[in-house]
A and B are shown apart, each in its own frame.
Chain A
Amino acid sequence: MKDQLISIEHLFVTLNGSHQPLLEDVNLTIKMGEMVGLIGESGSGKSLTSRAVTGLLPKEMRVSGRISYGGNNLLELSDKERYKQLGIKIGYIFQDYRGSFTPFIRIGKQMTETIRTHIKLTKKQSEQLAREVLNEVGLEDKTIYHRFPFQLSGGQIQRAAVAMTLALKPELIICDEMTTALDVITGEKVLNYLAKVQKETGCAVLIITHDLAQAYKHTNRIYVMQQGRIVEEGLSEEVRCHHKHPYTKKLCSCLLALPGEDLITTASQVMVK
């Protein structure tokens, strides 16, 4: 398919010296400009999958399979070539906002450092760009630019991280539980800015989350992961209302309904043990 941005085929990840694979036959495709959700509980392998894409897996893990991106199999590229794609082609936003930026370097400096790593700009131009994108995500550049990360709230930091991806315009942004450590309302705000950036740049977004409601609301398509395997895939509506796999059913049944809310057609609260 032509509009395919990235496609993961038969991905296996195994810890050295162990036979039980951590990821087993994972297949996942993301089209250009698409928002895809990857949901699962802790330990299901969703973060491993995204790290396999960026090449950030720990050294003691073996990877096999194929990740096609831009006509290449990423797994066959050299470390150096993969490293070059980080940031500029594939953006990554992490869960723990305290770790999104280095704590003792000012936000602005880290942004220009990143920008100038990838784009040939003068110091002034990169500062200009950094200030622009900060404003885009609703942060006042005058104050934020000179702040240290610990002087900002979690929501502000994650918005700055979103701004960072906006400056580099990557084709794919991977958000690994980026709102989990935030308050719900703040998290929603960050996600809305993410959606805005997605619309402006037309990039694809992979949202990794354990929060089904979030995935339903913010993505077009959802993959459900359990114990290192993808157990179900489909449009968000489909996964929510017409799921087939028992695990998806269990997940959905555990999503507590607000009163009067029709969660799933069966609306059962069967406990699948």
Chain B
Amino acid sequence: MRLVFSMIGKRITQLLIMFLLLSFITFVLMKLTPGDPVRTILNVEDVSTTTAQEELIKQQYGFDRPILIQYGEWLSNVVQLDLGESIIAKQPVLQLIINRLPASVALTIGGLVALLVIAVPFSVLAAIYENKWPDYLCRGVAIIGASIPSFWLGLLLIFFFSLQLNLLPVMGRGTLAHYILPSVTLGMAMAPVYIKLLREQLIDILQSSYIESAIARGIPRWRILLFHAIRGSLIPLVTMFGLSIGSLLGGITVIEMLFSWPGMGELIVNAVTQRDYPLIQGYIIVVGSLVVFINLLVDLITMLINPQIMQEARRAQ
């Protein structure tokens, strides 16, 4: 139990460091920013505005005070879970993000399911038939898959399954059918890395001496494959997932844009084009915390499925 706490502690420190780094960077960048948020708020590019109006806005949003004070104020608000108000939507940032969260989480889960369905059979086949045609096929698919831009893959899928064959809906989120294309696109975008990793893992494990021992003990082949080999290859898979959760959140943004999926990605891209600073900052903070939180979960899961880590951690203490 002490171990779990120390792990949580480590992650929280990490969160704090990251948080300070990020908020610092975002604030410095804001200072440097060429665009003027005041003009954005007034939403007038061509109409001439009076300086009085601008001053009023500046005061209202606190832009006229020294940056350090703005920073301190913002920090203390964040600690109270107040991420400010969106300039465009005039709603609390946190509320906006939380509204969009379920859609993104749902898509992530859909993507993971698709990933497992694609990656596991491919890599198991490739590992069992190492250096035979199934292996070459899998490696070929993986390397081509890793070269295709995910949004282009999505476009192709839309083109064939929605426009040509009229099988699946293109945009939005509603029925289960709406999930298929975005999930598959996300799954396929992630699959190559996992196929490569799982295949190498499995090949290493299948050649390891403990598999040889299990064979020499006469344990049925299917049991060895399932309980000794695949089980063993799951450990790095979970670690890998923790490491790639960040790029997953990035990848999901593109896919949400492509399919007009009402998730966080769409929200943030619109915020960027509209220069909605509080929203951008809030998004960064939320995503950062999310990444750290998921990594903590991954740590705990790894500890559960890999007793050796627990042992080593204990020894290190």
Chain A minimum-CB-distance residue to B231: A104
Instruction: Pick the contact of A104: B212, B215, B217, B306 (CB < 8 A).
Output: B306
Interchain nearest-CB distance for A2 vs B (Å): 27
Q: What's the Cα separation between A148 and B310 when bound, in Å?
A: 11
Interchain nearest-CB distance for B220 vs A (Å): 7
Chain A minimum-CB-distance residue to B216: A92
Q: A102-B228, A104-B308 are in contact. Are A86 and B209 (CB under 8 A)?
A: no
Is the beta-carbon distance between A98 and B216 smaller than 8 angstroms? no
Chain B minimum-CB-distance residue to A99: B209
Tell me whether B311 is interfacial, beta carbon within 8 Å. Answer: yes
Is the beta-carbon distance between B232 and A99 smaller than 8 angstroms? no
Chain A minimum-CB-distance residue to B234: A104
Contacts of A98 in B (CB 8 A): 209-210
Q: Which of A115-149 contact B (CB under 8 A)?
A: 117-118, 148
Is the beta-carbon distance between B209 and A117 smaller than 8 angstroms? no
Q: What's the Cα separation between A96 and B213 when bound, in Å?
A: 10
Q: A94-B209, A100-B210 are in contact. Are A117 and B217 (CB under 8 A)?
A: yes
Instruction: Pick the contact of B219: A54, A87, A150 (CB < 8 A).
Output: A87
Contacts of A164 in B (CB 8 A): 217
Q: What's the Cα separation between A84 and B216 when bound, in Å?
A: 10
Tell me whether A105 is interfacial, beta carbon within 8 Å. Answer: yes
Q: What's the Cα separation between A76 and B27 when bound, in Å?
A: 77
Tell me whether A83 is interfacial, beta carbon within 8 Å. Answer: yes
Chain A proximity mask over B200-229: 1 for CB below 8 Å, otherwise 0: 000000001111111111111101000110
Interchain nearest-CB distance for A244 vs B (Å): 35
Is the beta-carbon distance between A56 and B219 smaller than 8 angstroms? no
Q: What's the Cα separation between A66 and B221 when bound, in Å?
A: 26
Is the beta-carbon distance between A56 and B235 smaller than 8 angstroms? no
Chain A proximity mask over B274-314: 1 for CB below 8 Å, otherwise 0: 00000000000000000000000000000001111001000
Contacts of A86 in B (CB 8 A): 215-218
Is the beta-carbon distance between B232 and A118 smaller than 8 angstroms? no
Interchain nearest-CB distance for B134 vs A (Å): 16
Interchain nearest-CB distance for B309 vs A (Å): 10
Q: What's the Cα separation between A94 and B208 when bound, in Å?
A: 12
Interchain nearest-CB distance for B89 vs A (Å): 50
Contacts of A150 in B (CB 8 A): 307-308, 311
Chain A minimum-CB-distance residue to B310: A148
Q: What's the Cα separation between A89 and B224 when bound, in Å?
A: 19
- Determine the main DSSP class of B at the interface with A: helix
Is the beta-carbon distance between A94 and B212 smaller than 8 angstroms? yes
Instruction: Pick the contact of A87: B217, B221, B223 (CB < 8 A).
Output: B217
Interchain nearest-CB distance for A79 vs B (Å): 10
Q: A102-B210, A148-B307 are in contact. Are A117 and B220 (CB under 8 A)?
A: yes
Is the beta-carbon distance between B218 and A88 smaller than 8 angstroms? yes
Q: Which of A187-238 contact B (CB under 8 A)?
A: none
Most chain B Cβ neighbours within 10 Å, of A84, A101, A164? A101
Interchain nearest-CB distance for A49 vs B (Å): 15
Q: A104-B307, A105-B228, A150-B308 are in contact. Are A54 and B209 (CB under 8 A)?
A: no
Interchain nearest-CB distance for B229 vs A (Å): 9
Contacts of B223 in A (CB 8 A): 113, 117
Tell me whether A4 is interfacial, beta carbon within 8 Å. Answer: no
Q: What's the Cα separation between A118 and B231 when bound, in Å?
A: 23
Interchain nearest-CB distance for B203 vs A (Å): 14
Contacts of B211 in A (CB 8 A): 102
Q: What's the Cα separation between A205 and B235 when bound, in Å?
A: 37
Contacts of A113 in B (CB 8 A): 219, 223, 227
Q: Which residues of B contact A (CB under 8 A)?
A: 208-221, 223, 227-228, 231-232, 235, 305-308, 311
Question: What are 21 contact pairs spanning A and B, CB under 8 A?
Answer: A86-B218, A87-B216, A87-B217, A94-B213, A96-B209, A99-B208, A100-B209, A100-B213, A102-B210, A102-B214, A103-B210, A103-B308, A104-B232, A104-B308, A117-B219, A117-B220, A118-B218, A148-B311, A151-B311, A161-B213, A164-B217
Please give me the 4 A-B residue pairs with the lowest Cβ-Cβ distance, nearest first. A99-B209, A87-B218, A92-B216, A86-B218
